[in-house]
Amino acid sequence: MIHWTGRVLPVARLCALARERGIITIVDAAQSFAQMPIRFRELGCDFFVTSLHKWLGAPVGNGMLIINRRRLRETWPLLAPFDATPDTADKFDHWNLGTYNSALQAGIEPAIRLHRAIGVANIHARLSALTRYWTARAADIEGLRIHTPLEADTLGAVSLFSIAGIDAVRLERTLRQPFSVHVKYRRVGQLEGLRVSPHIYMNEADLDVFVNALHAAVKEAN
C-alpha cells in the first residue's frame, strides 16, 4: 500500500516478474501489514519489512524483517557478530549486535493478541467502511477529488483528497487550527493533497467532526 494515496500495488505479480529476471525484491509493507490480509509466502518477495506501530498498534520503535530462505545465506546484519554463527537466521539474534529496548519488545505480544482477537479481515473491512463513510459525507464539496480508488477490494484506511482551487497546505493548517483536525499534506511529483487515515479505534462520530470541519474550512477558504 502506497502511504500517500492508499493504492495497493500488485506485489505478487511484480515479484514474479523480478524473480524471472534475477532481480532482488524488497517489499515495504509499513501501511499494509496488519491493516489488510497479507501473506509473506504468497508474495514471493526476497525481503519483507514493516513497522509494527502503525496498524498492529505495538509501541513505536518496533519493526519486523522477514527474509526468504533462498536469500538467508547471503544476508548479514550490519554489525558483525563476535562469535562464530551458523549460516541461519540465528546470526541476527545476538546480544552483541547492540543494546535494545526490552520494554518496546514486551509491547508486541499484547498488540498481536488484540489484533488476532479482532481479526485482520474484520479490521480491513472496518477501515474500508470508515473511508467510504467520510468520502460519501464529503461528496457534496465542490471541487473535491479523491485520489484513491474507493471501489477497490484493497481499499483500507489511507486515502488522499484535494479540492480544486484551494491550496492544500493552507487547508491543512486551517483544519489543525482552529478545528484540531489532523490530516497530512502529501506531495509526490505533480500529485498533492491531504491524507486521511482513521484507525480502528475511531468511529463515525469522529469522522463527522472531520467532515464538518472540512466543510467549514472550505467555506472559509472561498
Sign of CA dihedral 78, 42, 121, 154: positive
Q: What is the pLDDT of residues 100-134, one digit of tens each?
A: 788 999 999 999 999 999 999 999 999 999 999 99
The predicted structure's pLDDT at residue 99: 73
Task: Report yes or no: 155 and 149 within 8 Å, Cβ to Cβ.
Answer: yes
CA–CA dist 220, 205 (Å, integer) = 23
Average pLDDT over residues 177-194: 95
pTM equals 0.90
- Domains of the chain: residue spans and CATH: 11-118 (3.40.640.10), 120-221 (3.90.1150.10)
Which residue, among 80, 36, 70, 75, has the nearest Cα to 56 in the 3D structure?
36
Three cell numbers written together for 114: 488484540
Q: Evaluate whether 123 touches 115 at the Cβ level (below 8 Å).
A: yes
